[in-house]
Each structure stands twice: as C-alpha cells, then as structure tokens.
Amino acid sequence: MSGNIFQKPSGRPTDPVLTSAMQDDASSRASSVEVIEIHKQYLRPDPNQPRKHFDPETIERRRVQLEEDGQKSPITVFPGELGEDGQLYYDIQDGECRWRAAMASSNIEFLRAEVDTITRRDDLATIRLNQLLHNDDGSEPLTPLERAYAYRDIVQALEAEGVDSPKTVAARRLGLSLSVFSEVLGLAALPNELGAFALAQGITDSRVIAGLVQVNKRGSKEDVERVKQQVSAAIAQGGNLRQLMKQAVEAVKAERPLAKKVPKTAKKEKKVRNLRAQQVVVSTKPDGSAVLTIETGKEVLKVSVTAEQVNTMMPWDDVNSSSS
C-alpha cells in the first residue's frame, strides 16, 4: 500500500483535558494498584475493544521492542475469573498490542499487568473512555472508523444508563467539542460488514469512509459491491481513493436522489364522528349565550355556544331548555 491516506495519524494528543484526565486517572489509582505477572496464555483480549485492525508490522515492532528493552509499562486487566478448565484467566482492558507481540515471541512468557479493581466490567462507557485515552497516548492511534465505533459504544452505554444528552456528555468526557465528536460518530453509520472491509483494506481516510457511508445509504447492494471491487483495485494499483469515492457518491446520487419533502400546505381533514343523541339540554345564559349538554350512548358532551351562534341556530322548541 502507498500514499498518505493509508497511514494512521501520528503524534500524541495535545488536548489538555485528555492529558489531565490520564494523569488524574494514573495518580488516583497509583496508591492502591496491584501489579502482578501473568502468563501470556492466561490473558484474554477484549473482543469489542476499539482497535479492530492490528497491523502486522506494528506487532512485529512491539515484539522486537519488548524483547530488547523489556516491558516499560504494565497492561491493564480485570480481576481474574475461573475458566471452564479451572484456570484463572484475566481479561485485558488495555494493552492488547503488547499481548499480541508477546504471543508472537518465543522469548516472552509473562507480562506485567495492573489489576483494575475499580472499573466495573459492565460499565462499558468508562471502559471505552479509558481505552480511547490509552490508545491516543500510544504510537499507533486509532483509525477514524475504530474511533467512531468506540464513540457509538459510549453513547449507547450512556443512553442505557438513562444519561441526558449522552453525546454531549461523551464529548465532554473526551475533551472534544460536540461538533467534532458528532462528525466522527457519523462514520459509525457504516454497517459492521462494510466497516470490516474498510478496516481490512487499511482505509483510514475519514472522507473515504464518509463516502462509503453515502454509497451504502443511497445505493443498492449491487452499488456497494461494485464500489468495494473498485476500492480494492485502486488500493492494489495505488489509485486515488478520494477521487474514486467522490465519483461513486455522485453516481448513486444521480441514480437515486433522495425524495424531496412535500411542503405541508393543505390542512388534514378533521375526523367526523357520527353520534346519536339520546338527550339534548340547552342552558341559556343572561348574555344570550348557551351551553348545549348532549348525552349519547357512550358519553356526555358539553358545548359552549356564543349569542351570535344561538341566533343562527334552529329554534329550541324541539329540545329541553333551561335558563341559568
């Protein structure tokens, strides 16, 4: 693969909120944290963690670094749980790249791990937030699509907790503006299957991913399959994915424009109920107005009538009338 669009963004986060959050998290737990050594065979990765694509070259670099320089910082795990074989297993919360590197090494058997006894396993929002912060602090930041799926997990978890304005809360806890958060979150509209395709192809350009979202939204299954084939071919040949996706989106827009909203000009007709009156009582008032009490088989209706309306209505000879 070639071209900058396939390279993951580099650099560490400079947002002071992110930096502060990470420092606060580390300092608050430093006094009570337990660090142990765990055999790599008894560590289990989080199948739903934000990072979906592990670049083999990155894992190889981590393996070499671990073998030559040792493990500089512990991974984070949940307290151990007994597996079906009776062995104590630890689920990885943060540090899967290092675990994969250790699994690829014939020289590394154990990893140092910090046991997180504070975060609940079912507190998905906090887990994803911690994973995002730690991934952003690493040398291989998440791709936009991985980040979008993580944002979606956080918002859904906050919604399940009954949190008001979950998007705003999630953005604030990540130190982001709502507009930036929402822009990335929009990429999560890509179905998991198509998202897996983008991740497997190494696509990290948010504009290309947004184009896939539009093709999937507007186009047919055939359109999506055709674009996938074109993307694969462009990657193999070093083509311009942005230009390809722009043309693909324009094509599906031309073929299937979104339906225009019809302006609401005409008022909806009011429903008419046909009721058979069993008794009608007219109560007149000194100012000439009246109250009609109409009793049907199901209900009693009271209708106020102005003096002008009384004068235009039929005589009340055929109904019972009384003065107020």
CA nearest to 103, candidates 63, 138, 68, 48: 63
Residue 293 contacts residue 302 (beta carbons within 8 Å) = yes
**Which of 71, 93, 116 delimits the end of a domain?**
116
Tell me: the pLDDT tens digits for 153-186? 889 889 988 888 999 998 888 888 899 889 888 8
Q: Which of 92, 116, 140 is a domain's end point? A: 116
Give the mean model confidence (pLDDT) for residues 104-133: 85
pLDDT at 38: 92
Domain annotation covers residue 265? no
List helix spans (H) across the chain: 16-30, 56-69, 96-103, 124-136, 144-160, 166-174, 178-185, 192-200, 206-218, 221-237, 241-255, 307-312
Residue 139: per-residue pLDDT: 53
Paired residues of 140 in beta bridges: none
Average pLDDT over residues 2-8: 30
pLDDT reported for residue 294: 82
Give per-residue pLDDT as tens, 113-123.
Answer: 989 888 888 88
Higher pLDDT, 33 or 67: 67
Q: Contact, 112 vs 71, CB < 8 A? A: yes
pLDDT digits over 313-322, tens only? 655 544 455 5
In a domain, 99, yes or no: yes
Within-domain flag for 77: yes
Structural domain including 298 reads 277-310
Tokens for 191, please give them. 């179905």
DSSP structure class, residue 108: -
Query: Cα torsion for 118, 123, 126, 132, to the nearest 10°?
Result: 110
Amino acid 21: pLDDT: 41
**What pLDDT does 33 receive?**
67
In a domain, 226, yes or no: no
- pLDDT at residue 12 tops 60: no
Task: Pick the more confident residue, 50 or 83.
Answer: 83
Task: Let me know if residue 97 belongs to a domain.
Answer: yes
Asked if residue 145 has pLDDT above 50, the reply is: yes
Q: Which is more confident, 208 or 265?
A: 208
Q: Assess whether pLDDT exceeds 90 at residue 102.
A: yes
pLDDT for 3: 33
Average pLDDT over residues 70-82: 87
- Which of 62, 95, 116 marks a domain boundary? 116
Q: So what's the pLDDT on residue 6? A: 28
Domain presence at residue 38: yes
For residue 154, tell me if it sits in a domain: no
Cβ count within 10 A of residue 196:
14
**Rounded to 10 degrees, what is the CA torsion of 223, 228, 231, 236?**
-140
Q: Taking the CA of residue 151 as centre, how many other CA atoms within 13 Å lie in the half-sphere pointing to its CB?
A: 27
Q: Is 19 helix (H, G, I), strand (E, B) or coil?
A: helix
Residues with Cβ within 8 Å of 35's Cβ and at least 6 positions away in sequence, in order, are 74, 112, 113, 114, 115
Nearest to 324 by CA among 281, 280, 279, 290: 290
133: left (phi over 0), alpha (psi -120 to 50) or beta: alpha
Q: Return the minimum-mean-pLDDT range out of 13-17, 41-45, 228-232.
A: 13-17
**Range scoring the smallest mean pLDDT among 12-26, 115-129, 150-164:** 12-26
Indicate the range of 55-69, 149-163, 170-184, 290-304 predicted with least confidence. 290-304
**pLDDT value, residue 314:** 54
**Which of 28-32, 79-83, 170-174, 314-318 is predicted with the least confidence, judged by mean pLDDT?**
28-32
The whole-number average pLDDT for the span 17-30 is: 43
Answer whether residue 190 is part of any domain.
no
Q: For residue 38, what is the domain's CATH number?
A: 3.90.1530.10
State residue 17's pLDDT score. 42
Q: What is the mean pLDDT of residues 136-156?
A: 77
Q: Is 98 in contact with 111 (CB distance < 8 Å)?
A: yes
228-258: pLDDT as tens digits? 999 999 888 888 888 988 888 888 888 765 5
* Structural domain count, the chain: 2
